[in-house]
Amino acid sequence: MNPVLETGARLAALDAADPRAYRDTMGLFATGVTVITMASDSEYHGMTANAVMSVSLTPPLVAVSIALDTFSNRFIRKARGFSVNILGKDDVGVALGFARPAARGSDLFGEEVVLGPTGDPVVAGSIAHVGCSLRSVYEEGDHAIVVGHVDALLSDERSPRPLVFFGGRFSSTTCHACVVDGDLTEVLHSLHLV
């Protein structure tokens, strides 16, 4: 039986070498959902990713983690750049479509491809688009950590809610608009937290 640590929450020890235990545990870290798009000449590609992070403000840098044995890993190096399309709460179908490994080109984007300022496809319905030039690639374990310099930003002006991935499921935040658009003290009082 696994020992349990009493920390206010019940934490049980798991086998860190077990890929399923590692995946399930890291799945408890809620992340946003994005589609990474790339262009090389008139070829376009995209992939769903939640392993995306802001690396630096000055200079503005973003990183994405991509499995080494994928078409996406080969294509992003050829493209020499990529864009991060942040998905909104209603974009589960988009996330699932771009998660199919065999889907490419018009299978993903249709015949009408809209290009952003850096030349990468903009995913319809995304709430933000971050265009990057490829800066560096680090190979660690079975993934490449691809770092891009942010060259262009597009953002939805309507205070939209993001699509979130948590515990192996898609969901959306519920209080984003009330915290952004309202007084935080009022929100906390209404939830009886202060």
CA diameter of the chain: 57
> What pLDDT tens digit does each residue of the chain (194 aa) get?
455 555 566 777 888 888 888 888 877 778 889 999 999 988 899 999 989 999 999 999 999 999 999 999 999 999 999 999 999 998 999 999 899 876 676 678 877 889 999 999 999 889 999 999 999 999 999 999 999 999 999 998 887 888 888 788 787 765 444 444 444 444 444 444 43
CA angle 20, 67, 61 (to 5 degrees): 115
Q: What is the DSSP string of 75-107?
A: HHHHHTEEEEEEPBTT-HHHHHHHT-TT--THH
